[in-house]
Amino acid sequence: MSDFKSSPSGVLHGIRILDLTQMVAGPLCTLLLGDMGADVIKVEPPEGESARHIGVNRPGGESDYYLSMNRNKRGVVLDLKTADGIAALKALAAQVDVLVENFRPGTMERLGLGFEMLRQTNPGLIYCGLSGFGSDGAYRDRPALDPVIQAMSGLMQLTGTPDSGPLKTGLLMSDFVPPLFGAIGILGALRAREQTGIGQRVEVSMLDATVFSMVPREQFYFSTGRTPERLGNAHFQLAPWNTYATQDERYVMVVAHNDKYWLNLLAAIGREELAQDARFATNADRLKNRDVLDGLIAESIARHPLDTWLRLLVEADVLFSVVRDFPDVFSDAEIRRTLIESIEHPSVGELELLRTPIRLETHPVSIRRPPPRLGEHTAEVAAEYGFTLPETFQ
């Protein structure tokens, strides 16, 4: 279990982040910055942000969503429906380096907290807006969540089978990719400010980021005018590329994107003669005869249990993996060594979290604080930044 008070300073040590985000995309952006050493002040309404109320699975009433996204932050409660709350936020915004928000476009301006107003008292402010569709254009006022963006971006149309119809991905792809671009944009803006002394607005839309995440699929469309086929675990341009069931009803994902791995696979399954079969001579031939080829591979894989295939496929240097469930993944010694860290949380007790997978040699990312309880640091931050403490905390 880590001692979150003794972790080394990160590359963003000394950078102050004002976090006005909720749910997933925004909090993940500020989590990344916090893991790299920034001091993140998370501002929530009196009832707490939306993620506190989704996936409440802990005995103390904590939410999976909230715990996952909010370590390395100090928690402050401000009611932005009151004059005192607005004044306190302006006091914070005047002194921080970066503000991140994911309100619907126009909300901050209506509160008198838009970028143009805040930069008057803090010309070095970097203001990052993460929204569904950006701050201008025909879609800007529409509400957005991950599945809506997956559908609108075309990502959902790529996922599934001919029989299933379009499916959303199993992870929050449209919530996950935008904060990565947001964090990159903020880092770039911080670098520019070192040269100019002036901050700037950084904007990332969930729709733009998700469409961009489909590279290189867009080039197939630009060159053919067609949407890639929905093929389940198969690939629309490469074969073999699929999952196959073992004798004991486990699945292995097998990929042979070039001749080396094609021949390695044939050696592993004992079907070397297929290398001379004209139906499978080239990738184009294998694509034309994909159903026959998948049937032959499936027949071979079904002859042995998983343990046998683990040995044979590794020995033959096949590009493959077992299709693992969460118990498989999170009991893997390598995953536990590189990605899982336990810290002490005041109400949860021992809390396992996933480390950020960025490896920096001299200033490593670190988990220094557990996710804050609602308003936990309001008094501390009020004293530090010199604003009037909300009545609730007096």
- DSSP letter for each residue of 331-378: T-HHHHHHTEEEEEETTTEEEEEEPPS---SSS-----SPPPPTTTTH
Identity of the residue numbered 123? P
| Res. 8 pLDDT band, cuts 50 70 90 | low
80 neighbors 111 (Cβ within 8 angstroms): yes
- Which is more confident, 59 or 148? 148
Tokens of 83: 């004059």
Identity of the residue numbered 390? P
Tell me the per-residue pLDDT of 271-310, one tens digit each, with 9 for 90 and over: 999 999 999 999 999 999 999 999 999 999 999 999 999 9
pLDDT (0 to 100) of residue 270 = 96
pLDDT above 70: percentage of residues in the chain: 97
State the average pLDDT over residues 347-374: 94
State the average pLDDT over residues 242-250: 97
State the average pLDDT over residues 166-175: 94
User: Which of 34, 42, 43, 31 has the alpha carbon at shortest distance from 15?
Assistant: 34
Distances, alpha carbon 363 to alpha carbons 30, 40, 354, in Å: 18, 18, 18
Tokens of 249: 């009803």
Q: Quick check: 3 pLDDT over 60?
A: no
State the average pLDDT over residues 370-378: 95
Cα–Cα distance for residue pair 301/308, rounded to 1 Å? 10
Catalytic residues: 175
Q: Quick check: 392 pLDDT over 50?
A: yes
pLDDT (0 to 100) of residue 393 = 64
pLDDT (0 to 100) of residue 117 = 97
Which residues belong to CATH 3.30.1540.10 in the chain? 251-322
Average pLDDT, the chain: 94
pLDDT (0 to 100) of residue 6 = 38
| Res. 394 pLDDT band, cuts 50 70 90 | low
State the average pLDDT over residues 21-39: 97
Query: Hey, how many other C-beta atoms are within 10 angstroms of the C-beta on 193?
Result: 18
pLDDT (0 to 100) of residue 388 = 84
The backbone torsions φ and ψ at residue 154, rounded to the nearest 5 degrees and listed phi first, read 95, -10
Tell me the per-residue pLDDT of 122-143, one tens digit each, with 9 for 90 and over: 999 999 999 999 999 899 999 9
Q: Quick check: 4 pLDDT over 50?
A: no
pLDDT (0 to 100) of residue 57 = 86
pLDDT (0 to 100) of residue 18 = 98
pLDDT (0 to 100) of residue 316 = 97
Indicate the range of 5-14, 223-232, 352-361, 367-376 predicted with least confidence: 5-14
Q: Quick check: 5 pLDDT over 60?
A: no
Tell me the per-residue pLDDT of 326-350, one tens digit each, with 9 for 90 and over: 999 999 999 999 999 999 999 899 9
Q: Quick check: 377 pLDDT over 70?
A: yes
Rg (CA), the chain: 25
CATH superfamily of 16-214+332-393: Crotonobetainyl-coa:carnitine coa-transferase; domain 1 (3.40.50.10540)
Which residues belong to CATH 3.40.50.10540 in the chain? 16-214+332-393
Q: 3-state class of 38 per DSSP?
A: coil
Identity of the residue numbered 270? G
In CATH terms, 251-322 corresponds, of 1.10.10.10, 3.30.1540.10, 3.40.50.300, 3.40.1670.10, to: 3.30.1540.10
Q: Quick check: 41 pLDDT over 50?
A: yes
- Which is more confident, 273 or 392? 273
pLDDT (0 to 100) of residue 87 = 95
